[in-house]
Amino acid sequence: MNFPRVTMSKFFREEGRFYRFFVLFVASGAGSGYFPFASGTAGTFLAGIPVFLLFSLMSGVWYAVSTVMLMLAGVYFCEAADRVLGEKDSSKIVIDEVAGYLVTMAFIPVSIYTVGAGFFLFRFFDVLKPQPAKWVEDNLPGGAGVLFDDVVAGVYANICLQLLYHFVLKNL
C-alpha cells in the first residue's frame, strides 16, 4: 500500500493549512477579529484586555520587554495575515489593537476603572488616528504600517490615561 508522502514542512509553508490557521489565529486575536461588526473594538475587548491582565502580573520591566516582543511578532503576523487574506490591513487583523492597548496600559495600576478608561481612550485615538498615527499607517511598509499606527494611538491614550489616573482615578 502506498501512502502519500507528507512532511511537516508542508504544514509550515505559506500554502499549508496549519500555517494559514496559525497566522490567522494569532493575527485575529484568537478569532476575535472575525466579530461581524466593530472588529477592532471586539479585538481590544476580547483579546487586548485579557492579554493585558496576563502581562500585568509581570514586573514593569518584563511588561515592557514582553510588549516590545509582541509588537515585533505582531509586525510579522500582520504582514503574513495580509498575504493569507489577500488584503491590506484587513479588519480581521486585531493583533495591532492588542499591541496598542498594551501600550495604553503601560505603567498604569490595574483596576476596573483604569482598564475601562484605557479601553475607551485607546479606541477613541485608534479611530481618530491623529498625526503621526495616520502618517505611520500610510507610510510604513507592510505589517509595520498596520501595527504601529495603533502603537501611536496607544501612546496618546497612555498620556491621557496617566493624567486621568493621577488627577481623578487614583482617589477612587
Per-residue cell: 165: 489616573
| Calpha distance 136→153 (Å, rounded) | 11
In this structure, are residues 100 and 151 in contact, taking their beta carbons and an 8 Å threshold? yes
* Domain ranges, residue 147: 37-166
Q: pLDDT tens for the chain, 172 residues: list them.
A: 565 555 555 555 666 788 899 999 999 999 999 999 999 999 999 999 999 999 999 999 999 999 999 999 999 999 999 999 999 889 999 999 999 999 999 999 999 999 999 999 999 999 999 999 999 999 999 999 999 999 999 999 999 999 999 999 888 7
pLDDT of residue 16: 79
- CA nearest to 65, candidates 74, 54, 55: 55
In a domain, 62, yes or no: yes
In this structure, are residues 33 and 93 in contact, taking their beta carbons and an 8 Å threshold? yes
pLDDT of residue 5: 55
In a domain, 114, yes or no: yes
In total, how many domains does the chain have? 1
In a domain, 97, yes or no: yes
